[in-house]
């Protein structure tokens, strides 16, 4: 590849949420003097408005479904082959399990020089499927990895360890957050009279809304009548109706607000209004929601799982809970202790500034593209 020729990078993502936000960061921040960027995407309720949020990026819409569907997956595969023929990318960067599986096979078939796969939450670690399904996901990952010879980009240290089960060539590049964007909305936070406990994400099995409600019940028993408080879930999802029904039955619906899907300009003020950010997830890659909350200087209580452990420093920026009793105790401690909330919030912001800035992530990704192409004798 001549020095004057730009490296053609094709990003592919199937999911929305935090993963889509990270892909948007990549597309918008890659050096356009060196890289020609395209994005193939599917749409979910929590997908960003790529057409209005991305600049200098060619967009291609390609429907892909999350679960295994031989017919729909085959159609997506054939359409992707056509796109690869049109784009002729030097680098194929795949995000999420479904895009990763289809993309690795298609990329290999079409002879794409460099294939990079970022699972952003390995499918075989899911807790909402049967053991057989997890076994199947594991072997599908192994097959795709063997056939494609792709480089696996882990977004957390723990994910890198788990990724060793399916791939040999692994690099660690952690997610990032746009601090400047979040800071823009700091003054939009409104005064409030009660302690506000906030979470963010899809109301789905991965986020364990049942555990969220159980924690609300326990906090009510320990705190009600002493300190006014409320819980806010920023987001929506397939389990919302059940969650609201269960909250009503348990007598805690009046303490819960579910916002529905919001754009970022409406999400960030809610983070600044929060006193504590919580995350009850059963599995993660490296959660964007935690990065955003900590960038806003919020202390965190989160489940002690892959991804969360790479963001939260236990006892410094918040707490990691091994069970729901620990979770409740840590949360009640922060509700009662304003000085501790402030101290941990300051530490949380510092950790983001030190480890999770966009400039760092983009530099590492650009170096990954260039290094892998050089190894192929192309760049």
Residue 19 has pLDDT above 70, yes or no: yes
| Nearest-angstrom CA–CA distance, 117 and 99 | 9
Q: For residue 324, which of 252, 216, 242 has the smallest C-alpha distance? A: 216
Query: Residue 336 sits in which domain range?
Result: 180-355
CB contact at 8 A, 94 and 103: yes
Q: How would you classify residue 145: left for phi > 0, otherwise alpha for psi between -120 and 50, otherwise beta?
A: alpha
pLDDT band with cut points at 50, 70 and 90 for residue 190: low
| Nearest-angstrom CA–CA distance, 149 and 312 | 33
Please give the backbone phi and psi of residue 153, each rounded to the nearest 5 degrees, phi first.
Answer: -100, 105
Residue 81, domain CATH: 3.40.50.2000
pLDDT band with cut points at 50, 70 and 90 for residue 123: confident
Same domain (yes/no): 351, 362: no
What is the torsional sign of CA 80, 17, 210, 250? negative
Residue 1 falls inside a structural domain: no
Same domain (yes/no): 159, 92: yes
Residue 77 has pLDDT above 80, yes or no: yes
As a whole number, mean pLDDT of residues 105-133 equals 91
Residue 192 has pLDDT above 80, yes or no: no
Same domain (yes/no): 48, 140: yes
What is the overall mean pLDDT for the chain?
93
pLDDT band with cut points at 50, 70 and 90 for residue 376: confident
pLDDT band with cut points at 50, 70 and 90 for residue 248: very high
Residue 193 has pLDDT above 90, yes or no: no
Same domain (yes/no): 48, 163: yes
Strand arrangement of the beta sheet that strand 7-13 belongs to? 57-61, 35-41, 7-13, 91-95, 114-118, 151-154, 170-172
Residue 2 falls inside a structural domain: no
| Nearest-angstrom CA–CA distance, 334 and 339 | 9
Predicted local confidence at residue 323, as pLDDT: 95
CB contact at 8 A, 122 and 154: no
Q: Where are the alpha helices (DSSP H) in 62-127?
A: 70-87, 97-109
Same domain (yes/no): 326, 368: no
Predicted local confidence at residue 285, as pLDDT: 84
Predicted local confidence at residue 74, as pLDDT: 93
pLDDT band with cut points at 50, 70 and 90 for residue 1: low
Same domain (yes/no): 87, 209: no
Predicted local confidence at residue 41, as pLDDT: 94
pLDDT band with cut points at 50, 70 and 90 for residue 54: very high
pLDDT tens for each residue of 262-320: 988 899 999 999 999 999 999 888 999 999 999 999 999 999 998 999 999 999 999 99
As a whole number, mean pLDDT of residues 48-58 equals 92
pTM: 0.88
Same domain (yes/no): 349, 371: no
- Number of structural domains in the chain: 2
The enclosing H or E element of 23 equals helix 17-29
Predicted local confidence at residue 189, as pLDDT: 59
Same domain (yes/no): 168, 184: no
pLDDT tens for each residue of 337-350: 999 999 999 999 99
Same domain (yes/no): 141, 233: no
Same domain (yes/no): 163, 32: yes
pLDDT band with cut points at 50, 70 and 90 for residue 324: very high
Same domain (yes/no): 189, 334: yes
């Amino acid at each position: 590849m001549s020095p004057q020729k730009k490296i053609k990078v094709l990003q592919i993502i199937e999911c929305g949420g935090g993963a889509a936000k990270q892909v948007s960061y990549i597309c918008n921040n890659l050096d356009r003097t060196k890289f020609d960027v395209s994005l193939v995407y599917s749409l979910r309720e929590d997908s960003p408005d790529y057409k209005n949020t991305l600049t200098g990026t060619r967009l291609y819409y390609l429907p892909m479904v999350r679960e295994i569907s031989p017919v729909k997956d085959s159609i997506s595969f054939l359409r992707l082959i056509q796109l690869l023929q049109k784009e002729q990318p030097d680098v194929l960067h795949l995000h999420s399990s479904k895009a990763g599986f289809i993309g690795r096979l298609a990329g290999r078939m079409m002879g794409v020089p460099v294939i990079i796969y970022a699972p952003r939450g390995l499918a075989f670690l899911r807790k909402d499927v049967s053991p057989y399904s997890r076994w199947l996901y594991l072997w599908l990952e192994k097959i795709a990895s063997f056939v494609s010879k792709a480089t696996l980009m882990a977004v957390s240290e723990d994910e890198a360890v788990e990724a060793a089960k399916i791939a040999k060539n692994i690099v660690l590049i952690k997610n990032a957050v746009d601090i400047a964007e979040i800071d823009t909305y700091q003054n939009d936070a409104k005064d409030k009279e009660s302690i506000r406990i906030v979470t963010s994400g899809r109301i789905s099995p991965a986020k364990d809304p049942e555990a969220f409600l159980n924690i609300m019940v326990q906090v009510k028993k320990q705190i009600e009548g002493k300190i006014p408080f409320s819980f806010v879930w920023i987001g929506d999802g397939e389990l919302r109706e059940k969650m609201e029904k269960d909250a009503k039955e348990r007598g805690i619906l009046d303490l819960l607000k579910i916002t529905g899907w919001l754009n970022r300009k409406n999400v960030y003020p809610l983070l600044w209004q929060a006193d504590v950010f919580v995350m009850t997830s059963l599995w993660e890659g490296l959660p964007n929601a935690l990065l955003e909350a900590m960038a806003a200087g919020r202390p965190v209580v989160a489940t002690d799982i892959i991804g969360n452990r790479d963001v939260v420093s236990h006892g410094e920026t918040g707490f990691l809970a091994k069970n729901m009793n620990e979770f409740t105790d840590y949360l009640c401690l922060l509700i009662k202790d304003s000085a501790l909330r402030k101290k941990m919030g300051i530490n949380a912001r510092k950790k983001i500034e030190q480890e999770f800035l966009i400039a760092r992530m983009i530099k590492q990704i650009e170096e990954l593209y260039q290094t892998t192409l050089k190894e192929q004798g192309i760049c």
